[in-house]
Amino acid sequence: MIRVLLADDEAMIRAGLTAVLATDPGITVVAEAADGREAVELAHAHRPDVVLMDIRMPRLDGLAAAAELAGVVPVVMLTTFDEDAYVARALADGASGFLLKAADPRELLIAVRAVADGAAYLSPRVAHRVIAGLRTNELTRPATARKKVSSLTPRERDVLALVGRGLSNQEIGRELHLAEGTVKAHLTSILRNLDVQNRVQAAITAYEAGMASPPPRI
């Protein structure tokens, strides 16, 4: 049985959600909160499997409440509009789902089941926005960067990766067992082939191509 906590300041909305959730015999509403502060407290008290939380609420808003519950209980945000700022903040702050109130009631059940199962759920319109965001982040910029980087020799990519982490030529030499002069020669070739003027721009290219730091791919 999936245990759900509802948080919405309007009793009517809570009643509606309860009614929808009741159509699924595997889901039960264990508590209801009328504001963010109460939601956080009840979440700690009841330990539900999922929290359904409205964004606009008195005292503590849904985003802040979700942030406090991040890692404790998965939270699905509910909202009337798919406003960009909310989506970005909510997902960054730890929400596991984002549901539009205008959604098909069946979506609600799927979302609750998915989130209780450790997955995540985005309303189609929200998913659309997120994907559009990814596209500009992952495709347009890095695509050219990635292409340029792929034209380098393997050794040059080794060097570029370390340049992208801000290492000096001397440090890169130590890391790769090369003389500093060798590193510089590779770098000269890198700059020419990436069509940039200095190591800072090369580092940014490396960064856009996803060569930097602990790989944050999707």
In the complex, the smallest distance separating the C-beta of residue 87 from a copy of itself, rounded to whole angstroms, is: 6
Cα separation, 199 vs 178, in Å, equals 18
13 binds, among DNA, a copy of itself, none (CB under 5 to 8 A by kind): none
C-alpha distances (whole Å) from 36 to each of 60, 93, 126, 131 are 4, 15, 22, 29
The contact mask relative to DNA for 180-209 (x = CB under 7 A, - = no) is xxx-xxxxx--xx-----xxx---------
73-90 b/e with 16+ CB inside 10 Å = b? bbbbbbbeebeeebbebb
- Count of residues that interact with DNA, criterion CB under 7 A: 23
93 binds, among a copy of itself, DNA, none (CB under 5 to 8 A by kind): a copy of itself
Q: Which amino acid is at 67?
A: A
The contact mask relative to DNA for 139-178 (x = CB under 7 A, - = no) is --------------xxxx-----------xxx-----x-x
Element (DSSP H or E) covering residue 206: helix 199-208
Task: List all residues 6 or more positions away from 17 whose beta carbon is below 8 Å from its beta carbon.
Answer: 6, 8, 29, 52, 108
In the complex, the smallest distance separating the C-beta of residue 10 from a copy of itself, rounded to whole angstroms, is: 26
Binding site for DNA (CB under 7 A): 153-156, 168-170, 176, 178-182, 184-188, 191-192, 198-200
